[in-house]
Amino acid sequence: MRTLYDRNQADVSEAKSGRTDLIFLIRFRHCCLLRNQRCILAYLYDRLLRIRALRWEYGSVLPNTIQFHMSAEEVEWFSRYKKSLATYMRSVGGEEGLDLTQDIKPPKSLYIEVRCLRDYGEFEIDDGTTILLKKNSQHFLPRWKCEQLIRQGVLEHILS
């Protein structure tokens, strides 16, 4: 782009001093410059949109493999977006705020079948009973209690 621009500038100064046949060349180069600018901005903006989608899919902390592919400015954009979103979610919905990244699908049933992926220890549910979460054990638990653990990767929802 710089080369195009420099050449254009040289021709502009020549055109100003009287050579009108260069105008078309100047305009053509300017169009090229504008097109390049559009392409670059489109590419960068598309990357931003994908990074935004990652926040909604993976949560606040991105896996290392993905972070490796992001530039420093993109990481900064992501952390600013995260903060902005968190402020908004906290402001809506009562004292603690409403986590908008949960409840993506309409709830089908109250209790769900889950399998434990790793040792977690004791887990207390609403009616006071405690459950020991050991690796590979299966349980039938209330949905709202499990959602947090499913996101952390401790439990896995079994779809029969």
Partner 1 sequence: MRGGGGGREEFGLSVRRVPRSHLQRAFFQAWLNEKFAPELLESKPEIIECVVEQLDHMEANLKRAKRGDLKVSIHRMEIERIRYVLSSYLRCRLVKIEKFFPHVLEKEKSRAEGEPSILSPEEFAFAKEYMANTEIYLKNVALKHMPPNLQKVSLLKSVPRPNLDSFVFLRVLERQENILVEPETDEQREYTIDLEEGSQHLIRYKTIAPLVASGAVQLI
The H or E element spanning position 139 is: strand 138-142
Residues 41-80 contacting partner 1, CB under 8 A = 41, 44-45, 48, 52, 71, 73-74, 76-77, 80
Residue closer to partner 1 (CB basis): 47 or 117: 47
Q: How far apart are the two ends of the chain, measured CA to CA in Å? A: 57
CB of 94 to partner 1, least distance (A): 5
CA distances in angstroms from 95 to 86, 91, 98, listed in the order given: 14, 8, 9
Euclidean distance between CA atoms 17 and 35, whole angstroms: 28
Q: Does residue 26 interact with partner 1 by CB under 8 A?
A: no
CB of 150 to partner 1, least distance (A): 15
Q: Does residue 34 interact with partner 1 by CB under 8 A?
A: yes
Query: Which amino acid belongs to residue 99?
Result: D
CB of 124 to partner 1, least distance (A): 13
CB of 117 to partner 1, least distance (A): 24
Euclidean distance between CA atoms 63 and 78, whole angstroms: 13
Q: Does residue 84 interact with partner 1 by CB under 8 A?
A: yes
CA distances in angstroms from 158 to 1, 108, 130, 139, 143, listed in the order given: 54, 14, 21, 10, 12
Q: Does residue 110 interact with partner 1 by CB under 8 A?
A: yes
- The H-assigned helical ranges of 1-156 are 2-16, 23-58, 64-68, 72-91, 143-152
Residues 113-132 contacting partner 1, CB under 8 A = 126-128
Name the site residues for partner 1 (rule: CB under 8 A). 1-2, 5, 33-34, 37-38, 40-41, 44-45, 48, 52, 71, 73-74, 76-77, 80-81, 84-85, 87-88, 91-95, 98, 100, 102-107, 110, 126-128, 142-144
